[in-house]
Amino acid sequence: MAIQDLHTTHIGGHAFRWGERTYIMGVINMTPDSFSGDGLGDDVDAAVQRALAMQADGADMIDIGGESTRPPGVVYGEGAKPVPAEEELRRVLPVIRRLAKVLKIPISIDTYKAEVARLAIPAGASLINDVWGLKRDPTLARVAAELGTPIVLTHNQAGYAYHDLIAEVVTGLQDSVEIAVTAGVPAEHIIVDPGIGFGKQAEHNLEILRHMDELKRALGYPVLLGTSHKSFIGLVLGDLPTHERVEGTASTVAVAIMKGVDIVRVHDVKQMVRVARMTDAIVRGWLRPSS
């Protein structure tokens, strides 16, 4: 299906018109072990305040996660441990329910588990963000189809072995799309994510950014990208800690927008909204505000 046939996705009562501008997804981690060091654990009040601040700073949606995706390796040690669905729900449901009452923007549930999504959506989430692209729990596709919920499908794999990185990422995402469509998810409800940092080393992440426009053309779906604070940025800039990766993140966001990305998932909403608006003005044109 051509990109022009997928020009709008409705998420939580909001129309996301792809190609008009770049949308900003703010990150809220309800975990004790977030890779970026911003996990809020059980502090629901802090999550609500952070989400409201992100909305005020220009976020278009908020992504709530209850399981860390911290990868294994030199930077993060053995990586995050899997969390049972019951614990994940305990972490995210109180936040989603509170935010559904006060936010004007959509809420995304960051999960690969059908059981979690099935309860998070009635609680107030209106987008599923699956970091395993339906490869861990294919029944999640049926939940998205039954509840009419758009879904983000991320490329991910165990290990770092590739023969042709871009082609394999495209093929992997096409497989995820096929699982979704077969389960009844409409094409206009599908967003893809090349999975920066998921089963990829620094060189892989840089190559994906370099060829993002090719990847988007090959897939024909709106693209979400999550580079914010990730370890490859720290590595390139001389082993910077996560809290010093804002400028590096800004560079990746600007390049990604130049290459056609539609949503950027970020921790530093205020700064990245400005980066996106400036880059959009260059790429898509700028209408001077009337005096």
Catalytically active residues, by annotation: 230, 265
Helices and strands in the chain: count of H runs, count of E runs: 10, 10
Judge residue 29's burial from the number of C-beta atoms within 10 Å of its C-beta, 0-12 exposed, 13-18 middle, 19 or more buried: buried
* In contact, 200 and 156? CB cutoff 8 Å: no
Question: What is the β-pairing status of strands 151-154 and 8-11?
Answer: unpaired
Residue 264 corresponds to which amino acid?
V
The tokens describing 151, both together, are: 């879904």
Residue 220 backbone class (left: φ over 0; alpha: ψ -120 to 50; beta: rest): left
CA distance 147 to 154: 20
**In this structure, what DSSP letter does residue 124 have?**
T
